[in-house]
Amino acid sequence: MAEQKRHDPEDGTKGPLDLMPLLAKELLAGGLSGGFAKTAVAPLERVKILFQTRRAEFQSTGLIRSAVRIAKTEGLLGFYRGNGASVARIIPYSAIHYTSYEEYRRLIIQTFPDVWKGPALDLMAGSLSGGTAVLFTYPLDLTRTKLAYQIVSPTKLGASGMVNNEQVYRGITDCLTRTYREGGIRGLYRGVAPTLVGIFPYAGLKFYFYEEMKRHVPEEYNKSIMAKLTCGSVAGLLGQTFTYPLEVVRRQMQIQKLQPSDNAELKGTFKSILLIAQRQGWKQLFSGLSINYIKMRLSAKSELLSSRAYQRF
């Protein structure tokens, strides 16, 4: 029986990865590293969403006590509630973001050859591509928030999908289906306005800071994975800090239908910011921001490890 032929770089044969287009390889690497990074920080993200949405049980608890409460109520898997939707969103979001960024950049250069150059070009193209990617993948972000907002022990979930008169979603498909039945397309895009208002300056600022930091990286380190991850993480953190109140508004809009009916309805992005500041205090607009700083370090390390593993593969 002939020995099965194996891929050997030295004999000139090509494996599946060698036959893939460069863009597909980059998306695969980005999806793997992004999924690993999001899973690594999923427990922190879960707590942050509960802080942002002012879930009653978590209004006066800190990070450690909140983690203990989740562990007691839902067990280890409770820390990863909704993470599947977040991971599923990575590759389509990255693909749309990457391809549309290059396309917007080309169109801007062709249309305004003497106007948009340098950082200004990156700012505009980054903002447009970020907004485009959000529009195509927003229902998964909405699903991630709704699933993470739920606090329920799996053993208490009945066949009706209700626990203590509160609707409980069984997974991504169930959440998307019920949301569509209740509110149609508008229901799937509830909270998209502050998302777009935030994503344009966030994506633009992130690209701008990233390009500026890259220009100051010594030439011998330009291709270093660590240098790229550091620049990307710091740029993302700066963008998030400036636009964080809009994220809080988005999260509260996304789960508003799951809250008691006597809560004031959030309408309009900037009116909602003022309403939250008046009713909940201005500090609520930055609730959970410190968790983002912790996540930055963990995400950078996770992406570095997964990127190195992909290179060896």
Q: What is the rounded distance in angstroms from the CA atom of residue 290 to the CA atom of residue 82?
A: 21
Kindly report the CATH number assigned to the domain that includes residue 263. 1.50.40.10
113 and 82 both lie in a single domain: yes
| pLDDT at res. 178 | 95
219 and 181 both lie in a single domain: no
Cβ atoms of 206 and 176 closer than 8 Å? no
SS3 206: helix
Work out how many domains the chain is built from and give that number: 2
Query: Which domain covers residue 246, as residue numbers?
Result: 191-312
pTM reported for the whole predicted model: 0.80
Q: What is the rounded distance in angstroms from the CA atom of residue 204 to the CA atom of residue 109?
A: 17
174 and 45 both lie in a single domain: yes
| pLDDT at res. 10 | 53
| pLDDT at res. 172 | 95
45 and 184 both lie in a single domain: yes
- Does 10 fall in a domain? no
Beta carbons within 8 Å of 275's beta carbon, 6+ residues apart: 264, 266
Q: Averaged in consecutive runs of 10 residues, what is the pLDDT profile of the chain (313 residues)?
A: 48 61 69 80 94 83 89 92 93 86 88 75 83 93 95 58 62 95 94 88 77 82 77 83 92 88 80 93 91 75 53 49
36 and 139 both lie in a single domain: yes
CA-wise closest residue to 303 among 231, 247, 255, 241: 231
* ∠ CA 158-161-165, rounded to 5°: 90
Beta carbons within 8 Å of 184's beta carbon, 6+ residues apart: none
| pLDDT at res. 159 | 45
Which runs of consecutive H residues, i.e. helices, occur in 41-166?
42-52, 63-74, 83-88, 90-111, 119-149
